[in-house]
Amino acid sequence: MRKKVLIMGGAGFIGSHLCDLFIAKGCQVICMDNLITGKIGNIKHLLKNRDFEFIRHNVSEYIDIKGRVDYILHFASPASPIDYLKYPIPTLKVGSLGTHNALGLAKVKKATFLLASTSEIYGDPLINPQREDYWGNVNPVGPRGVYDEAKRFAEAMTMAYHRFHKVDTRIVRIFNTYGERMRERDGRAIPNFISQALAARPITVYGDGSQTRSFCYVSDLVGGIYSLLMSREDEPVNIGNPNEITLLKLARIILKLTDSKSRIVYKPLPVDDPKVRRPDISKAKKILRWKPKVDLDEGLVKTVDYFRSVKKA
């Protein structure tokens, strides 16, 4: 019997790539999204596929799915600062009520549940790289707390359902990811820099640009997520690319790739913006036999090509 997969937030950047992955593996896929940040365009190519179903629904409200469900992947949430600062209460609700609803459904259906958590649970970390046993340095009442604490609560809720109700659960802590289907005005560094460079607008670097990030190409990420789902690991696992780069260097690379004449301008660093971000992926390597394959230059070329195609459309 073919597996049935419910992907909550399936019309989003990462969720839509997961829909593609499970369709390619011969699964039946239900994509659920309220389109607050997701786009129908991300899944348009799947809408006529008989193994794919789209349901427009806010997962913070009661979820009802007929028949069996084998896997539930909870990727529903605004995920970029520009989004969760615009939608602070929906972000808190989808991390709390949405996670509760999804776990309740997983319990009833006896489905395996996977939570999309985030490197943001580490806050502005005091160690680098960040390991899964690091508890983080998060400001719960700062503007970013609506996302950070929602995800931390979601992890706690997931582990509670695993321990008390014996639900089969997974937790993936996703580090900075990029690639096709990111929105032009996503607010994160790579889509910002690329869209600004292609439009010959000033490249906005916050602070002095010395803060670091580690960027994972989306195909590597979804491969790691699938490996985690198929494993028996119920504790959190970092999935990301450990190669660290300053944001100023990233801006200069994108200027070169786009052959842009844009100049770099500097603006104040946002409140609680992390100075470093780099995953320790030792656990993923050992347990999942996973590591990223796509280097930054290769992934950026593909991403720039995508943004160019969107700009022409």
Numbers of helices and strands, H then E, in the chain: 9, 13
C-alpha 43 chain-centroid distance: 17
State the Cα–Cα distance between residues 184 and 245, nearest whole angstrom.
Answer: 22
State the Cα–Cα distance between residues 163 and 167, nearest whole angstrom.
Answer: 8
Do 255 and 194 contact (CB within 8 A), yes or no?
Answer: no
Do 255 and 262 contact (CB within 8 A), yes or no?
Answer: yes
Beta-bridged to residue 114, according to DSSP, are 73, 170
Annotated catalytic residue within 84, 87, 122, 147: 147
State the Cα–Cα distance between residues 49 and 22, nearest whole angstrom.
Answer: 12
What does DSSP say about strands 52-56 and 28-33: parallel, antiparallel, or unpaired? parallel
Is there a catalytic annotation at residue 147?
Answer: yes
Taking the alpha carbons of 9, 42, 238, 73 in that order, is the dihedral positive or negative?
positive
**Which amino acid would we find at residue 208?**
D
Q: Mind telling me the catalytic residues?
A: 147
